[in-house]
Amino acid sequence: MVPEKGMQAIPEQIAAHLEAHQIRLNTAVEKIEGRHVFLKNGEKIEADKIVLATDARATARLLHQAESVEWNSTDCLYLKPNSTPPQYRAQIF
């Protein structure tokens, strides 16, 4: 099931429960080692949880793993009808 306001609603709901100092967006990361995130500006952050919004190659580079990660792309198409289907005892699709 897709949230009414789209997939972006999922990270927005997660972020809504965090304090401003608990989340970093659009921040350049040099590497990740265990629970430590090393930013390109030289700052080091210790985190209980880390969410990466990157492709497989960038994630492998940040985690110092083999860059020959195999992956498949996924496309999602969501359709919304102009009206709701009639309410019968049995619905046929």
Q: How far is C-alpha 24 from the geometric centre of its chain's CA atoms? A: 13
Q: Tell me the pLDDT band of 57, cut-offs 50, 70 and 90.
A: confident
* Closest listed residue to residue 38, CA positions, set 50, 25, 29, 47: 29
For residues 44 and 37, the answer to whether their CB atoms sit within 8 Å is yes
Residue 88 has pLDDT above 80, yes or no: no
pTM for the predicted model, two decimal places: 0.61
